[in-house]
Structure 1
């Protein structure tokens, strides 16, 4: 094979590898959390980064009342809200209901603007709040804040969202993307790197022993 022919082949291989990588990335994104509300993917500002049972923002729009369980399995014990994050319409009433698991819990707004009161472990206890203001409303359990017992209610369509192209560290498995899909990206980088390295070698040192014997 002559040098010019090799360069054409290397370019074809690199292009094909990149195309495969792009297709794999598109498939991975399609398999991820498709929700996002009118404002796009909510920007929680790291609020849910240590919440063990958070995987996606559940969509409860269209419902007048939504129930959140207090004391579901997560964060090493029954120290989690279920679900920890949700979309709701403006004017929706959220009802927190205690499961009786994980000891005493309470519900406190991030800015202490509302609270269910002292912590309790009694099953069937309820606390409710109607969200009339659009935005991301964050809350936590005071006794278990340090272990990640936190939640968020995304109200309406006007809320902070992750801008397009922003780089936000995300656990692929939390997005519901099969981890194998991300191997495509690694294979793409390795394939292109190998092609470029071989091309550089050929340009620097000339034709390989197998390609000699003809004119360029």
Structure 2
């Protein structure tokens, strides 16, 4: 018969598993978020939602929304079935540069724009200023590989990772991979805020509610980004 100590240990382990930030089962796609409900997360001043501590992935950074910088590095990381851009949201000056650096796994960075629909059907939703040019990096597999983009026009730019992991290694887009899913479906999306954009969803499509065609995990993240963006830019002196 199990001892009381063993029963307590087993129960604790089961609870920890149920609260993990990365959830995968045969009926639903993996969802990798800070607290399992990032759309309701609160701003902690650095562009990352306050977490419950259930996700051991390190999302900490010294970057504060509302205080744009001239250059920012964004790490592209994998942690088991979870994939992340870190920080999720960054704020740079007009003419500033974002450099994406591969830390682990295999990733790319692709803006939500109709020009990128061949890589990802959901990218047909433009979530960046109308006149701004889209971007798409190569697929990176080697730690330390980088992609840079300079943002000249003030605005809000959303992007994702189109990589899918399958039996033959990483690839891009939604090919014939059966049940395998893109990193976007696990919530690997990011945002770049440039300058001091007008917080008008007509001028900034990224502030609109995500389209129904996007994966649920990505939609939750983007909704959370909208809350953090408005909070930081409407009250910059509080951050």
Structure 1 length as normaliser, TM-score?
0.45
Q: Which has the higher strand share?
A: 2
Work out which of the two has the higher radius of gyration on C-alpha atoms and give 1 or 2. Answer: 1
Structure 2 length as normaliser, TM-score?
0.41
